[in-house]
């Protein structure tokens, strides 16, 4: 069986920084609350006029450049997003054209913060089945477009950005070892954006009532998140035949430092083996895992031959994990 390997990684973030001090001017909050409850110090915010594809395209371009694979050889582009440029065509199609991925099929995938793990699972399966050689797996969101900056319980958490990996035939003993993805639709009301779809199309009323902003039950999400991270990690370790100490880098979804710490402690993974970008970028949805992976890979904090374990959770509810050797 062909194994799928990570041949390149890339990420892209807006330049504009929104600090906790900035948020203190916008809502009734303070730096100390945000840092102690979440671990977030600042986040990046896209400029007006920019769209998700602008960041996804750059992240994909960087992953392609690292791999040395030509755009015209890519068979598939998967773009995980909950803030597509438009309802349709897909953001994937827009990126496909921009990068000249002439023979790639391209589409969007909706699994919120778990989107990258869903896309990675799908891309890996296509390669293992022999139906694709090179798959660009990307995730990107401009959450600042759907965040209510008068709601202090959500606006401090989120930021914008995109990340990508290029999957292709694995070299040597590298490659994806195991993955799992899960859903529980009974948790659909934990975290949602109500309007703009077919049930509540955009009208003056939905705009006036703020139904185009995301809403979240924070404590419920927190409880679900810890348990989901632990169970997905356990499952992926077992399937891959790995022990926690085999993991060189643990790359969790960057939602809350306390969630990450709770999960990490369960497996006795030391601090220095956890990829953290949360303090700088906040929660960038599905892109938080590939952004952290890319930053730590490029900084030499993880290298070829190392085992990486990614794990995440999000709206849906959705969750999952993947283990691979770089
Ligand atoms: N600044 C100051 N005070 C605040 C703020 C703020 N920004 N936000 C809430 N508070 C207040 C609350 O009003 C509450 O006050 P009260 O006790 O007088 O009612 C108090 O702080 C405590 O609020 P809690 O919600 O209990 O705080 P908690 O410790 O649970 O932290 C948080 C809230 C950070 C949202 C946490 O629950 C969390 O991280 N949950 C998970 C969120 C998450 O991971 N979301 C992403 C999902 S992935 C995706 O798909 C997008």
* Percent of the chain surpassing pLDDT 70: 100
The reported pLDDT for the residue numbered 181 is: 98
Confirm whether 268 is a catalytic residue.
Answer: no
Q: pLDDT (tens digit, 9 = 90+) per residue, 22-64? A: 999 999 999 999 999 999 999 999 999 999 999 999 999 999 9
CATH architecture of 177-325: 3-Layer(aba) Sandwich (3.40)
Residue given tokens 């400029």 in the structure block: 47
* CA neighbours closer than 13 Å in the CB half-sphere of residue 42: 12
User: Which of ligand 1's atoms lies nearest the C-alpha of 219?
Assistant: 37
ipTM of model: 0.91
Sign (positive/negative) of CA torsion 25, 29, 33, 35? negative
| Stretch 114-123: mean pLDDT | 98
Q: Exposure of 301 by Cβ count < 10 A (0-12 exposed, 13-18 middle, 19+ buried)?
A: middle
CA 292/CA 277 separation, integer angstroms: 6
Active-site residue, selected from the candidate residues 20, 93, 180, 283: 283
Residue 171 tokens, joined: 């070299």
State in Å: Cα 260 to ligand 1 middle.
15
Mutating to test ligand 1, I would choose from 37, 149, 183, 226 the residue with most ligand atoms within 8 A of its C-beta, which is 37
- The alpha carbon of residue 272 and the mean position of all alpha carbons in its chain are separated, in whole angstroms, by 21
Mutating to test ligand 1, I would choose from 112, 153, 315 the residue with most ligand atoms within 8 A of its C-beta, which is 153
Residue 218 near ligand 1, beta carbon < 6 Å: yes
CA 258/CA 250 separation, integer angstroms: 15
Beta-carbon contacts of 143 under 8 Å, excluding residues fewer than 6 positions away, are 82, 83, 158, 159, 160, 214, 283, 284, 285
Report CA dihedral (283, 286, 287, 293) to the nearest 10 degrees.
100
Is residue 316 very low, low, confident or very high in pLDDT (cuts 50, 70, 90)? very high
Mean residue pLDDT across the chain: 97
State in Å: Cα 314 to ligand 1 middle.
16
Q: Do domains 4-169 and 177-325 have the same CATH topology?
A: yes
Report CA dihedral (13, 45, 229, 9) to the nearest 10 degrees.
-10
Contact between 122 and 109 under an 8 Å Cβ cutoff? The reply is: yes
Beta-carbon contacts of 205 under 8 Å, excluding residues fewer than 6 positions away, are none
Residue 219 near ligand 1, beta carbon < 6 Å: yes
Q: pLDDT (tens digit, 9 = 90+) per residue, 234-254? A: 999 999 999 999 999 999 999
The reported pLDDT for the residue numbered 255 is: 97
CATH number of 4-169: 3.40.47.10
- The alpha carbon of residue 8 and the mean position of all alpha carbons in its chain are separated, in whole angstroms, by 16
**Residue 1 predicted with pLDDT over 90:** no
State in Å: Cα 190 to ligand 1 middle.
13
Q: What does DSSP say about strands 307-314 and 318-325: parallel, antiparallel, or unpaired?
A: antiparallel
Where are the chain's structural domains? 4-169, 177-325
| Stretch 220-244: mean pLDDT | 96
**Residue 132 predicted with pLDDT over 90:** yes
Instruction: Quote the pTM value.
Output: 0.96
User: Which of ligand 1's atoms lies nearest the C-alpha of 214?
Assistant: 51
Residue 6 tokens, joined: 């990570």
Residue 38 near ligand 1, beta carbon < 6 Å: yes
Q: pLDDT (tens digit, 9 = 90+) per residue, 256-295? A: 999 999 999 999 999 999 999 999 999 999 999 999 999 9
């Amino acid at each position: 069986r062909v194994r799928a390997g990570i041949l390149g990684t890339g990420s892209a973030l807006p330049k504009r920084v929104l600090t906790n001090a900035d948020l203190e001017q916008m809502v009734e909050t303070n730096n100390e609350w945000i840092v102690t409850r979440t671990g977030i110090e600042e986040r990046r915010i896209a400029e007006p006029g920019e769209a998700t594809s602008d960041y996804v395209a750059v992240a994909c371009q960087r992953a392609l450049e690292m791999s040395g694979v030509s755009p015209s050889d890519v068979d598939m582009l998967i773009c995980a997003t909950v803030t597509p440029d438009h309802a349709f065509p897909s953001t994937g199609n827009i990126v496909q054209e921009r990068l000249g991925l002439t023979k790639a099929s391209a589409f969007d995938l909706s699994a919120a913060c778990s989107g990258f793990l869903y896309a990675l699972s799908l891309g890996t399966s296509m390669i293992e089945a022999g139906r694709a050689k090179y798959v660009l797996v990307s995730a990107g969101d401009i959450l600042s477009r759907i965040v209510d900056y008068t709601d202090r319980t959500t606006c401090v958490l989120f930021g914008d950005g995109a990340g990508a990996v290029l999957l292709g035939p694995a070299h040597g003993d590298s490659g994806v070892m195991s993955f799992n993805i899960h859903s529980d639709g009974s948790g659909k009301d934990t975290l949602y954006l109500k309007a703009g779809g077919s049930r509540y199309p955009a009208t003056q009323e939905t705009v006036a009532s703020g139904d185009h902003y995301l809403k979240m039950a924070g404590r419920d999400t927190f409880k679900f998140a810890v348990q989901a991270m632990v169970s997905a990690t356990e499952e992926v370790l077992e399937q891959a035949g790995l022990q926690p100490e085999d993991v060189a880098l643990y790359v969790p979804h960057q939602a809350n430092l306390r969630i990450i710490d709770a999960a990490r402690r369960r497996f006795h993974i030391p601090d220095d083996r956890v990829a953290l970008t949360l303090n700088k970028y906040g929660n960038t949805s599905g892109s938080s895992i590939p952004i952290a992976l890319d930053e730590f890979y490029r900084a030499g904090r993880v290298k070829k031959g190392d085992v990486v374990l990614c794990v995440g959770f999000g709206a849906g509810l959705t969750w999952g994990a993947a283990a691979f050797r770089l």
